[in-house]
Structure 1
Amino acid sequence: MKKFVVLAFVLLIGIQAEAQVKVSPGLRGGLNISTLTNIDDNSSKTDFYLGGLVNIKFNKFFSVQPEINYSRQGDEGRYFENGRYYTEKYELNYVTLGAVAKFNFGGGGFHLLAGPSLDLKVSDNYVNTNPEDFDLSFVGGLGYTLPNGLTFEARLKQGLIDIYGYDGIDDGYYYDQVILNQVFQLGISYTFKTK
């Protein structure tokens, strides 16, 4: 194990010595198609996300991108009342703090990305329940960056925290389903050229 750690350290130092690190700030935004898992009679809700980023490019193959975003999530629920079905859009709005690693194919514009996100709830419109104040998520996706800094991306964001924390009995009904955020994102970003 010690040999592995020493080898990894030496490789990291070598990569940093060869790399000319470029730091570029940018803006990002796009479409959220969100839902909550394990809820009967719900469907996806369409909304948006908007935020900023800093792309830290180590070489033509690899970069790390810290991000801060405002993300409107939730789902569209369906319920039965007074002899008919009604639908309602449930809002879960977050400030998300994330960082994705981007791996460029052959040093070109196509890239894969993956990384964690901490989502802090800023508002919701739930009446009878109180969703958790935060979520941890994993983000994965792919994209293409043009030479001018314009990037198009598709991402899947999977929540890891049971946002309702159901685990018990309420009015004789046993709750044990894990309710997770799930968001598909289509977006665009722009990184500013820096000298």
Structure 2
Amino acid sequence: MKKVILISFVLFIGLITAQAQVKVSPGLRGGLNFSTLTNIEDNNTKTDFYVGGLVDIKFNKYFSLQPEITYSRQGDEGTYFEDGRYYSEKYELNYITLGAVAKFNFGGSGFHILAGPSLDFKVDDNYINSDPEGFDMAIVAGVGYTLPNGLGFEARIKQGFIDIYGYEGVDDDYYYDEIILNQVFQLGISYTFKM
């Protein structure tokens, strides 16, 4: 009985010690989106913004998991010809994004690389003659630097995987080079509150 109590006590202390090393810190993030849609002629990059919250779950000085919720204004800026003139129009695709990025800190310093998936739910668009898909799945990758006070700077690339018009495969009339996907380059800042 004494051995069981001793083993239980050692396991309990080990569990508390392991839990004490994990640090959970909430934070805010925001910045600029430079977004476009693939395989569209005469389109340009649209500049807009993203803003949201995060929870930094730091397991050790080398690795963190960061769940995020973000409002992201995406789309592109297209050019069309009508009545002898060229016109420019911004196409809006606005999403609520749920993501989880893994952050790897080099040598335990503030410099990090990150990667992870995101699931985007469309909350608004300005398309008149069509109805883009209501969701997107994407992968995010980037680099950043976090100062000791919690202020961070990041550059990310976000690539969508679902055709905004719901295309699901290749047939004789439709090819992969015609799929219209979200692509976003993000420059932003974040602040993680120390708990």
Into which bin does the TM-score normalised by the smaller protein fall? 0.7 to 0.9
Q: Counterparts of 1:143-154 in structure 2 under 5 Å? A: 143-154=144-155
Which string of whole-angstrom CA distances, capped at 9 and with x for unpartnered residues, describes residues 86-119 of structure 1?
1100000000000000000000010000000000
Which residue of the partner structure matches residue 24 of structure 2?
Answer: 23
Tell me the SS of whatever aligns to 2:112: strand
Where does 1:179-194 land on structure 2 (aligned, <5 Å)?
Answer: 179-194=180-195
Q: Which residue of 2 aligns with 1:96?
A: 97
Q: Cα distance 1:128–1:43, how it changes in 2: closer, same or farther (>3 A)?
A: same
Structure 1 residues 113-144: Cα deviation after superposition (integer angstroms, max 9, x where no partner): 00000000000000111110000000000000
1:63 aligns to what?
A: 64
Q: Can you give the 5+ residue segments of structure 2 that lack an aligned partner in the other structure?
A: 1-13
TM-score, with normalisation over the residues of structure 2?
A: 0.86
CA 106–18 in structure 1, closer or farther in 2 if over 3 Å, else same: farther
Q: Equivalent residue for 1:129?
A: 130
Q: How big is the alpha-carbon RMSD for the aligned residues of Structure 1 and Structure 2?
A: 1.9
Match of 1:74 in 2: 75
Please state how far the C-alpha of 1:165 moved relative to its aligned partner. 2.5
Shift of 1:84: 1.3
Equivalenced residues, count: 176
Q: 1:102 corresponds to which letter in structure 2? A: K
Partners of 1:78 and 1:162 in 2: how far apart? 21
- Identity percentage of aligned residues: 78
- Deviation of the 1:19 alpha carbon: 7.0
Q: Which residue in the other structure is 2:141 paired with?
A: 140
The residue number in structure 2 matching 1:114 is: 115
Measured in 2, the distance between the counterparts of 1:47 and 1:18 equals 40
Q: Is the 8 A contact 1:31 1:187 kept in 2?
A: yes
- Secondary structure of residue in 1 paired with 2:21: coil
Match of 1:106, SS?
A: helix
Residues 41-60 of structure 1 aligned to structure 2 (within 5 Å)? 41-60=42-61
Amino acid at match of 1:45: K
Matched residue of 2:91: which SS?
strand
* 1:164, distance to aligned residue in structure 2 (A): 1.3
Compute the displacement of 1:17 (Å): 3.7
Asked whether the 8 Å contact 1:48–1:71 carries over to 2, the reply is: yes
